[in-house]
Amino acid sequence: MIKEPRIASRIQALVLMGGAITSGNVTPSAEFNIYSDPHAAHVVFTSGIPLTMISLDITHQVLTTPERLRAIRTLGTPVSEVAADILVQYGSRERHRFDGIGNPLHDPCVIAYLLKPTLFTASPFYVEVELDGEATLGRTIVDTAYLSDRQPNVNVVQTVDAEGVYRLLLDRLAGL
């Protein structure tokens, strides 16, 4: 977008998994995807492209519990077995944050949103990416109180139907 600004006008919408409203997963305040390149994230967040942000606050509600893994394995197909094996590892570094209940499902929430947006609710907020703070570099600052005089620039997902996300996953895996 910096080298070719005209690209932004050709993007109808962008749904991203990134950022956090509360706390991060790579630093106490920053989420991995935004922290990895906060300056690029800043360009995207200020681009004017219609953005939908699915933050850690949401993905941490979509846990791969033992019951959900069993349901996937019960499908009994080679694809469902591979998916279950992947889900055992996916997000396992964060399992301790959830009392061992299960691993969070991060990036697949974007696909679930694209396939069935009714599983999610979102509200418009002004969001900016912290570029200067030593302890806060990469943090997404979401003005949920509308204290900024800036217009909302991001549709921030507020709720998720976690059971619905896993039903969608099961339905899709059953068809393979």
**What confidence tens digit (pLDDT) does each residue in 19-43 have?**
999 999 999 999 999 999 999 999 9
d(CA 161, CA 69): 17
Catalytic residues: 106
- Just give the CATH number of 5-174: 3.90.245.10
DSSP 119: G
pTM: 0.93
Query: What pLDDT band is residue 67 in, cutting at 50, 70 and 90?
Result: very high
**What confidence tens digit (pLDDT) does each residue in 100-144 have?**
788 899 999 999 999 999 999 999 999 999 999 999 999 999 999
For the chain, the structural domain boundaries read: 5-174
The yes-or-no verdict on residue 9 having pLDDT over 80 is yes
Grouping H, G, I as helix, E, B as strand and the rest as coil, residue 118 is: helix
